[in-house]
């Protein structure tokens, strides 16, 4: 699925966490599921949002260098998200 915003823009440091963007330092299922639920309960009409895993944030601002996640973990993470959602 194509993103309506580029990953480069999401992590540029010019975008601050808000109602549509969440930065997560690493893969931790419970807080990420909470964010997914929050985006699904879209009372403000934002049509969801972005959860960027592998980016640490301080006061909602992405921190560099970007931590990222291991390419070998992507399929497992996708499977876990699908399993729980």
Name the phi and psi angles at 47, rounded to 5. 65, 45
Query: Does residue 38 sit within a domain?
Result: yes
48: phi > 0 → left, psi -120 to 50 → alpha, else beta; which?
left
For residue 1, being part of any structural domain is answered with no
Query: The whole model's pTM is what?
Result: 0.79
Residue 16: is its pLDDT beyond 70? no
Q: Is 23 part of any domain?
A: yes
Task: Give the mean pLDDT of 74-84.
Answer: 93
Helix, strand counts (H, E) of the chain: 3, 4
CA dist., res. 47 & res. 42, Å (int): 6
Containing structural domain, residue 26 = 7-84
Can you tell me the mean pLDDT for 7-28? 81
Q: Does residue 79 belong to any structural domain of this protein?
A: yes
**Which tens digit of pLDDT belongs to each residue from 19-50?**
788 999 999 999 999 999 888 887 776 677 88
Comparing 73 with 19, the larger pLDDT belongs to 73
Q: Is residue 32 part of a domain?
A: yes
Structure tokens at 12: 């540029």
């Amino acid at each position: 699925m194509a993103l309506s915003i580029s990953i480069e823009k999401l992590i540029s440091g010019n975008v601050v966490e808000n109602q549509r963007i969440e930065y997560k330092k690493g893969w931790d299922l419970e807080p990420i599921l909470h964010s997914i639920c929050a985006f699904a309960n879209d009372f403000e009409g934002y049509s969801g949002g972005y959860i960027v895993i592998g980016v640490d944030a301080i006061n909602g601002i992405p921190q560099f260098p970007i931590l990222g996640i291991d390419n070998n973990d992507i399929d497992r993470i996708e499977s876990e998200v699908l399993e729980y959602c």
